[in-house]
Structure 1
Amino acid sequence: MTLSDQEIARASTMLPIMEIARKLQINEEDLRPYGKYIAKLPLRLIDSEKIKGKKLILVTAITPTVAGEGKTTASIGLCEGLNKIGVKTAAVLREPSLGPVFGMKGGAAGGGYSQVLPMESINLHFTGDFAAVEKSHNLLAALLDNHIHQGNSLNIDPRKIVWKRVMDMNERALRDIVIGLGGHAQGVPRESGFDITAASEVMAALCLANDLVDLKEKLGNIIVAYTYDNQPVYARELKAQGAMTALLKHTIMPNLVQTIEGNAAIIHGGPFANIAQGSNSIIATKMGLSLADYVVTEAGFASDLGGEKFLDLKCQYGSLKPDLAVIVATIRALKSHAGIPFEKLKEENVEAVKSGLENLEKHIENIKHFMLCPVVAINKFATDSEEEIKAVMQRCQELGVKVALSEGWEKGGEGCIGLAKVVQEVAESGRSNFTPLYNFEWPIEQKIETVARKIYGASDVEYSLKAKQQIKLFNKIGLDKLPICIAKTQYSLSDDPKLINKPIGFTIKIREFDIAAGAGFIIPIAGNIMRMPGLPSKPAAENIDIDAEGNITGLF
């Protein structure tokens, strides 16, 4: 009988967190324990001198499908594999959001025998980081509405307030609401709404900050509204940044946990990749590089979303230089890109695999745009045939790209030794010479069109009238030198989720912009992007239960 992820996690023997810390040469007095198996790490452990010469490995993937790619599982398995061949490696990952946990996607602690532990705690509340981000965000919203109620000395136009509230739950009923009803004492009536916490600019700022002082400055730079004469109003004008940062005093510290095989994992922050940068914090990544020789980190969705944003945005802000990128692919997902329906993905179909390889080839091309060496990891499923796997390996060899199987779900680190050896060989070869795709100083349109044409494969970019007006405003108020963080569907290289595999000849349509001046990026919006997801017809929450002894079941 096949055990569930939760059953495997529960059957695993965890080490006290101090033992994990010792593997990284962390002194006991430097730990901030959260129980027996979780600890916070103080920022003083980051050492720029120790970072020099360390290897940073980005794990990305092909375009997501309903078949799944298992990027986090592959990242953890690679970490286990590297440690098995004697390379001191830490996995540095994002924290799960309760929205996907209770919705359709499930948790984000890996799977099978490539998981981070304690799985239940990580997926449910963890150390309260998401709750603190939520409180910090909503404090700013409360101060904003109170300012308007108390006389509005900043001349804020209530129709031009852009700061909503957030909660860490899929709650479609709160996407668009009216607040301030019930009379004068209840505030000023206006339209508003909720986003999910992972979409909060506070979360994005936390993950791009270097320390508490930098975070406080970023939070002060958040634009919350515009005045009647269309001037931006910043959080610092509401004197909000100090209290907001105080709520994040402990949140800014990364969380230390362990893998099933007792290796170090640092988990911190959780911005979504289709609307924000989609990777863990700069602080966590630098913490990992200070304490281990190799860091394996993943970015949300595929190379066109989390991958591009990690490389163009996070790496430039954090002065990070990755050594290679692992592209995770599955046979089932490749067949899905060829148009094979979900119920037939388990059937052998070599020709469909070959057709779907166009999508993988585009992601290989994307990584090469950054002057990085790609390595393809085939995340193996039991239903994959030898001929199907051979087709992928043969094509990678024809392209001159290293490829290996990733069997971490079934075998843990033992199943990723071959991948680990390939990754070590490429990392130590020095063949990569990481170069961002664009310079922050470029005009907004040039940055957008560079990403659209090179990474998405678009033939053109169109801007709505509203988008053109917003570009003029950003130029006027001096925000045009910020990097871009394009919001689009994760299910296609284009902005149309129906265009699978490798679409060509399409136009990216920028309908409007959001601005994250605090976090430090402009958000061109292509297509209809949901910042507050809804629950599916059968939410995962329906399968989660707890008994009288507090044992939780149904997590995945």
Structure 2
Amino acid sequence: MPTDIEIARAARLKPVTAIAETAGIPEQALNPYGKFIAKVDTAAIPDFDARPNGKLILVTAINPTPAGEGKTTTTVGLGDGLKRIGKNVVIALREPSLGPCFGVKGGAAGGGYAQIVPMEQINLHFTGDFHAITSAHNLLAAMLDNHIYWGNKLDLDARNIALRRVMDMNDRALRATVSSLGGNGNGYPREDGFDITVASEVMAIFCLARDLADLEERLGRIVVGRSRAKQPVTAAELKATGAMTVLLKDALMPNLVQTLEGTPAFVHGGPFANIAHGCNSVIATRAALKLADYVVTEAGFGADLGAEKFFDIKCRKAGLRPDAAVIVATVRALKMHGGAAKEALGQEDLHALQAGLANLARHVENIRKFGVPPIVAINNFTSDSHAEHELIRSFCRNHLGVEAVICRHWAEGGAGTEELAHKVAELAEGGDADFAPLYPDEMPLKDKLETVAREIYGAAGLSLGPRVAARFAELEAAGHGHLPVCVAKTQYSFSADPTLRGAPSGHLVPVRELRLSAGAGFVVAICGDVMTMPGLPREPAAERIHIDAQGQIEGLF
């Protein structure tokens, strides 16, 4: 079978105007970026806000292996499957980050015959949204240090600067730095550091903002540090928000592309779910809901991270009410959760698979806690056996009371998800969804985090040092107790230990740090050893990416 990039390259794409017509988007609402990509100005769509919303379907997953379990591929395949059975559908996805593209995973636009295209542009610079977010964030950082240099009227305490710089690349060498070295003309030296762009609060704000005015107001609430009197200092006080909004103005319009089968797809925004809230932009999701009867979206990594944040942060903030959830599972990941070695995942092992099903069971139970009906999609791999598939289906049917559907979209495109599409449509139309977040706004921050730890992770509670405990009290006293919590932890386990597979219970979640994201509207709890600036692996994907003699990109999947 050809590689992902060969399949994408061989595709005959429709002009983006034709894709827009399929989605009911008039040409005057398009700002084209070449022939196959356009930004969409929803204000130019007649009667846009008055339209009813379609059905919202979330695609999430079990805890993944390092290679991922095909959640984006399944999202694309399900969208194509719904289109094949006659449904009016739009897909809503995040944009890939250059960090993982050149690091572990290569591309992130789906795979096989379930891809969004043009794949190469989407995986690389696309429409420049991430560059704009990086620039807006670093403009704020530059204005902060410039303010200190020119007299520090706000009396910022250089020992209590909260804002770190960002870049869209994995670079562990920049996690902790010292800035402003080189003499008086370069400012006042201080400890600094970098996060990856997708962990930036500007990225989170970008993805949660309702419109340009809301974006600017949220940017102004970013707390950049504290004064010597221990008072918060904001981006608005630095007078940075107008210029930041200018940099983000065009980027805020969602990007329209297509699948290999011509299904419209919005690809917009890209926070990671292990260190941020892990969902595409509210603007793109709302646009899709106004344009389609069915919207298929995803939330990053396993349901313990992506789905929980989708429900407790994105849906809470944007007033969204999901109608169904698809939990993607693979035989190989379940076997790894059951104790099988990575090298043996291609061999039939019903014992390890049986043990690993506890991971799937907890995710199904967790989704139900939000009042959203789930269904399981088994993403087929050629190494899977019939007996392994039947074991999963039987377990889901007899022990969990959910259906599990074998999906072959990677090899067959939308034809490989027709059964799933029919069942998802029935589930979404069944009226069984009764969505509610896991905890109320008025619950104290520490109790919110403990609720997530107990109810979603199966933990006995939290492990807090005195500094973190004091920080909880400080945030409550400052009036931030009503905010939801955004947990940053490993994606590979329900615990904060990436080696603890399956469905561990009774563990403690170690909380290392609390970061206020006042503009985004949540508090980030950094747990375990998770890093907000990832590093490259021993053999990064970048080593294999190149341009061949014909000028074509190779190695990007």
The answer to whether TM tops 0.5 is: yes
Query: Is the CA contact 2:397–2:403 (under 8 Å) kept in the aligned structure 1?
Result: yes
Secondary structure of the equivalent of 2:270? coil
Tell me which residue corresponds to 2:500. Answer: 499
Q: Look up the equivalent residue of 1:8 and give its one-letter code.
A: I
Query: Is the CA contact 1:335–1:353 (under 8 Å) kept in the aligned structure 2?
Result: yes
Secondary structure of the equivalent of 1:446? helix
Within-5 A mapping of 1:145-544: 145-398=145-398, 399-544=400-545
Secondary structure of the equivalent of 1:514? strand
Q: Deviations over 1:282-331 (max 9, x none)?
A: 10100101111100000001111011000010001110000011000000
Hey, what's the Cα distance between the residues in 1 that align with 2:488 and 2:337? Answer: 22
Secondary structure of the equivalent of 1:59? strand
Hey, what's the Cα distance between the residues in 1 that align with 2:476 and 2:209? Answer: 24
Hey, what's the Cα distance between the residues in 1 that align with 2:461 and 2:8? Answer: 48
1:550 is aligned to 2:551 = yes
Secondary structure of the equivalent of 2:456? helix
Tell me which residue corresponds to 1:27. Answer: 26
Hey, what's the Cα distance between the residues in 1 that align with 2:29 and 2:315? Answer: 27
TM-score (norm 1): 0.98
Q: Deviations over 1:183-238 (max 9, x none)?
A: 11111111101111111110000000000000000000000011112111100000
Aligned residues: 554
Secondary structure of the equivalent of 1:185? helix
Cα distance, 1:497 vs structure 2: 1.2
Q: Look up the equivalent residue of 2:532 and give its one-letter code.
A: R
Hey, what's the Cα distance between the residues in 1 that align with 2:550 and 2:520? Answer: 43
Hey, what's the Cα distance between the residues in 1 that align with 2:458 and 2:479? Answer: 30
Query: Is the CA contact 1:210–1:283 (under 8 Å) kept in the aligned structure 2?
Result: yes
Hey, what's the Cα distance between the residues in 2 that align with 1:67 and 1:388? Answer: 20
Query: Is the CA contact 2:42–2:48 (under 8 Å) kept in the aligned structure 1?
Result: no
Cα distance, 1:151 vs structure 2: 0.3
Q: 1:236 to 1:329 in 2, by over 3 A?
A: same
Q: Look up the equivalent residue of 1:295 and give its one-letter code.
A: V
Tell me which residue corresponds to 2:112. Answer: 112
Query: Is the CA contact 2:140–2:240 (under 8 Å) kept in the aligned structure 1?
Result: yes
Q: Look up the equivalent residue of 2:8 and give its one-letter code.
A: A
1:55 is aligned to 2:55 = yes
Secondary structure of the equivalent of 1:50? coil
Query: Is the CA contact 1:59–1:299 (under 8 Å) kept in the aligned structure 2?
Result: yes
Q: In structure 1, list runs of 5 or more residues that go unmatched.
A: none
Cα distance, 1:48 vs structure 2: 3.9
Query: Is the CA contact 1:438–1:450 (under 8 Å) kept in the aligned structure 2?
Result: yes
Q: Look up the equivalent residue of 1:88 and give its one-letter code.
A: N
Within-5 A mapping of 1:37-52: 37-44=36-43, 45=45, 47-52=48-53
Hey, what's the Cα distance between the residues in 1 that align with 2:52 and 2:517? Answer: 29
Hey, what's the Cα distance between the residues in 1 that align with 2:262 and 2:469? Answer: 52
Hey, what's the Cα distance between the residues in 2 that align with 1:406 and 1:372? Answer: 21
1:141 is aligned to 2:141 = yes
TM-score (norm 2): 0.98
Dislocated runs of 4+, deviation >6 Å = none
Q: Look up the equivalent residue of 2:184 and give its one-letter code.
A: H
Secondary structure of the equivalent of 1:375? strand
Hey, what's the Cα distance between the residues in 2 that align with 1:68 and 1:203? Answer: 23
Q: Deviations over 1:383-414 (max 9, x none)?
A: 10000000000011112102211111000000
Hey, what's the Cα distance between the residues in 1 that align with 2:418 and 2:31? Answer: 33
Q: In structure 2, list runs of 5 or more residues that go unmatched.
A: none
Cα distance, 1:38 vs structure 2: 0.1
1:18 is aligned to 2:54 = no
Query: Is the CA contact 2:67–2:105 (under 8 Å) kept in the aligned structure 1?
Result: no
Stretch deviating more after TM superposition (358-367 or 508-517): 508-517
Tell me which residue corresponds to 2:66. Answer: 66
Q: Deviations over 1:18-65 (max 9, x none)?
A: 00000011111110000000000113248343233x100000000111
Hey, what's the Cα distance between the residues in 2 that align with 1:372 and 1:265? Answer: 24
Secondary structure of the equivalent of 2:127? coil
Q: Look up the equivalent residue of 1:5 and give its one-letter code.
A: D
Q: Deviations over 1:115-173 (max 9, x none)?
A: 00000000011000000000000000000000000000111110111111111111111
Cα distance, 1:73 vs structure 2: 0.2
Query: Is the CA contact 1:328–1:376 (under 8 Å) kept in the aligned structure 2?
Result: yes
Hey, what's the Cα distance between the residues in 1 that align with 2:313 and 2:52? Answer: 19
Hey, what's the Cα distance between the residues in 2 that align with 1:168 and 1:500? Answer: 30
1:36 is aligned to 2:35 = yes
Query: Is the CA contact 2:141–2:165 (under 8 Å) kept in the aligned structure 1?
Result: yes
Secondary structure of the equivalent of 2:248? coil
Q: Look up the equivalent residue of 1:381 and give its one-letter code.
A: F
